Amino acid sequence: MPSHRREGLDASTSVAVRLADFVLRRPAAVFPLPVLEQARYLLLDTLGIAIAASPMEAGRIARDTAALLYGSADPPHSARMLFDGRRASIAGAAYAAATQIDNLDGHDGYSPTKGHIGVAVVPALAALAEALPDLSGPEALASLVVGYEVAGRAGIALHATVSDYHTSGAWNAVGVAALAARLRRLGEKQFREALGIAEYHGPRSQMMREIATPTMLHD
């Protein structure tokens, strides 16, 4: 193998190992306190938006859709939809909350990604946490930090490699996969596969079309 190809492979492997160390193996106690404190504020802010948005039409439609299409009565694989109470699959509950939050459009934004992170990672945390009764507050916040960090970096990378302005879901999928991998204590191989699936299937919706002709879709 030519030396430049070997170096590239080594660099890629090194990044993957360091990412797994951060996402899967870094104890919550090691995360800087100011970072965890900021995560707490972001969590409270996003939940506040979810509460305010709960009566809005798009949120009601999303919750009804989740109940109809993504319903699940099996507790280990379901979660109650935020400020609704009905059960849906974990993915369905997260989808309903994310749509509800995004509809009000008052949630946090991150300029380098031209989009929003909390709208995806907070609903994912809420849906996944229901089946984790022993989840501690610090570990929940550490998982949230992981989701924010990975999603933000994925968004920056996506915008650096393509010219189109894609919606937040394009790269939030990667952050949610990282958050879920930590909460579910996946192995390193499973984690890498989850990231690959999330990146490949992330919805690269064309944001400028929705901006030109606004709808309830948002980003």
Question: CATH code at 169?
Answer: 1.10.4100.10
**What is the reported pLDDT for 3?**
42
Structure tokens at 27: 């104890």
What per-residue confidence (pLDDT) applies to 155? Answer: 93
- Structural domain harbouring 77: 3-212
Q: Which amino acid is at 183?
A: L
Binned at pLDDT 50, 70 and 90, residue 202 comes out as: confident
Is the residue at 11 inside a domain?
yes
pLDDT of residue 213: 81
**Cα dist. 163→54, 109, 157, 207 in Å?**
35, 20, 12, 12
Helix (H, G, I), strand (E, B) or coil at 87: strand
Helices 169-183 and 118-129, interaxial angle, to 10°? Answer: 30
Q: What is the mean pLDDT of residues 25-33?
A: 97
Q: Give domain status of residue 148, yes or no.
A: yes
Considering the domain boundaries, does residue 219 fall inside one?
no
Q: How far is CA 117 from CA 15, 43, 113, 172, in A?
A: 22, 11, 9, 6
| pLDDT exceeds cutoff 50 at 188 | yes
Q: Which residues contact 158 (CB under 8 A, 6 or more apart)?
A: 166, 170, 171
Write phi, then psi, for 80 (nearest 5 degrees): -80, 135
114 within a domain of the structure (yes/no): yes
61 within some domain: yes
Residue 218 lies in a domain: no
- What's the pLDDT score for residue 12? 63
Phi/psi for 115 (5° steps) reads -165, -160
pLDDT value of residue 2: 42
Secondary structure (DSSP) of 123-154: HHHHHHHTT-TT--HHHHHHHHHHHHHHHHHH
Kindly indicate the confidence band of residue 73, based on its pLDDT and cuts at 50, 70 and 90.
Answer: confident
Q: What pairing do the DSSP bridges indicate for beta strands 87-89 and 78-80?
A: antiparallel
Which ranges of 162-206 would DSSP assign to H, the alpha helix? 169-183, 188-201
Number of domains in the chain: 1
In whole angstroms, give the CA distance from residue 72 to residue 157. Answer: 35
What does pLDDT average to over the chain? 90
Residue 181 has pLDDT above 80, yes or no: yes
Q: Is position 217 within any domain?
A: no
Higher pLDDT, 139 or 210: 139
